[in-house]
Each structure stands twice: as structure tokens, then as C-alpha cells.
Amino acid sequence: MLTVASVNVNGIRAAYRRGMGAWLDGRSPDVLALQEVRADDEHLAEHLGEGWHIAHEACAVKGRAGVAVASRLPLCAVRVGPGPRDDESSGRWVEADVELPDGGLLTVVSVYVHKGDAGTPRMAAKYAFLDAMTTRLGELGDGRRAVVAGDLNIAHRELDLKNWKGNQKSAGFLPQERAYLDRWFDGLGWADVGRLLAGEVPGPHTWWSWRGKAFDNDAGWRIDHQLATPALAGLAHEMAVDRAATYAERFSDHAPFVVTYDL
């Protein structure tokens, strides 16, 4: 069994101040995909501690974005992308080939997609990134075992957010955004592991606003995903959203999304 955990930490230093270390020690995943790291290599390694092999892609703009794959198993290759690198797209995609005990490889991607804002240049940047991501997903889905884990900032279906009626014109639930996931699942053959294992139920949500009573009322969004190639999807065994017991115990506005694969 191999456990892959993914979480948008909203800044690794802030997350550790709020108690992320206790969660990580208790969960003890084999592979950890992090988004919005907002730190350099030294600070990331210092917070995670010893025993990790780390692939980290920082953002070109200090204090923004940043993604990492940390693994207890060795990494044999690291790649960044997809598409051209600029201030908007850097620190949003890193992929690493994890060496499995049986001698095989598992490609793990940590991704952080722009939030966007409908009708603005940032929305255009989000669509450009999703276009580049679509191309790369087509390349990765060539028979290998691969998982793309992270914060897509897109809720795919009405089941994936509580207030879907009030967000039909909001970034994160626009028809144009959701169509990308349709293409990845229906056209390219990738699987939505969260939905595959949870079934046709509301959520489970992974993000709640810091404001108001969103967390207490579970008025959240399922925007943190693990997407698997056909060669891996059938090996997905169990999933969990590590939702904090109370608002005060949260270390991020996102909860970790954890999947165990029977390799």
C-alpha cells in the first residue's frame, strides 16, 4: 500500500505554526504533494524534517504559489512545467518519478491552478495554464502509472460545492472551466479518484473560506483532487479528507486529501 497525501498549505511556515507537523506525523504518508508552499528550498526542507526526498518548484514571484513533491521513497527524475514559464505559471507544476520497492515507477505531480476571476486577465492566464496542462496530461496518460494531485481551483459537478446555484457565474465553477475536467476524464481517460471512491455523494469538501461559518456549516468546495491514469486508477483503494475537528484546529483553509493505492 502506498499513501499519497495532497494539501494546499497556504504557506508552509504558517501551516506549521498552526499545527501541520502534528498532522503529518500522525498521517505519515509515503508521498506528500504540497501547494502554495511560499518558501525557498531551505525553509521547506527545514519544516518537513529529515527522511524526505523533495522536488520543489518555487514561484518566480517571492511569497506566491510554489509546489512540491516530498517522498519517503527515492526520486529518480524531476520535471517542471507545463508550458512557458512566467510569473503567472511558475511555481504551479512539478512532477517527480518515485522509485517503488518493486522496481517500478510512479509519476507524481503536484499542481496548483490559478483561482482566476471571471472576465479578467487572470482568468485568461488560468485558461492558458489549463490548455498547457491538457497537453501534458495527454503525454502522461501513455500507459504509465501517474497521479496528478493538488488544488485545481475547479469544482467539477454540482455535488462538489454546497452553494452551486449561487456560484454558476463564479470562477471555479464556470462551464468553461468544468469542460476541461470533462475532457480529461472523458477524452483522455484520466480518473477522478475522489469521486471514484466517494461515490455519488455531496463533496466531500476540501476547502472552506476562513470567513463566517463556512467551515462549521460545511459550506465548502471539492477543489483538491487526485487524478489518476487508467493504469493507476484501478489500484486506488481508500480515500480520506483529513478535515480538522474544529475551526480553531485548522492549519490551512484546505484539508489534506489522502488516497491509498494498492500497488
Amino acid 87: pLDDT: 66
State which fold the 2-257 domain adopts. Deoxyribonuclease I; Chain A (3.60.10)
Per-residue pLDDT, averaged over 189-204, amounts to 97
Q: Is the pLDDT of residue 143 over 90?
A: no
| Between 210 and 83, residue with greater pLDDT | 210
User: What is the largest distance, in Å, between two alpha-carbon atoms of the chain?
Assistant: 49
The overall average pLDDT reported for the chain is: 95
Looking at the chain, the whole-number percentage of residues with pLDDT higher than 90 is: 88
DSSP H or E segment with residue 237: strand 236-241
- The cell for 258 is 489522502
Check if the beta carbon of residue 95 is closer than 8 Å to that of residue 109: yes
| Between 63 and 240, residue with greater pLDDT | 240
First to last CA, the chain: 6
Amino acid 84: pLDDT: 67
Amino acid 20: pLDDT: 98
pLDDT tens per residue, range 145-154 = 999 999 999 9
| Between 249 and 83, residue with greater pLDDT | 249
- The cell for 99 is 522509485
Pick the closest to residue 223 from 120, 128, 149 (CA basis). 149
Per-residue pLDDT, averaged over 29-47, amounts to 96
pLDDT tens per residue, range 156-170 = 999 999 999 999 999
pLDDT tens per residue, range 57-102 = 998 888 889 999 999 999 999 999 887 667 667 899 999 999 999 9
**Burial bucket for residue 130 (CB in 10 Å: 0-12, 13-18, 19+):** buried
* Residue 165 phi, psi (nearest 5): -65, -40
Cα 121 → chain centroid: 23
pLDDT bracket for residue 250 (50, 70, 90): very high
Amino acid 90: pLDDT: 85
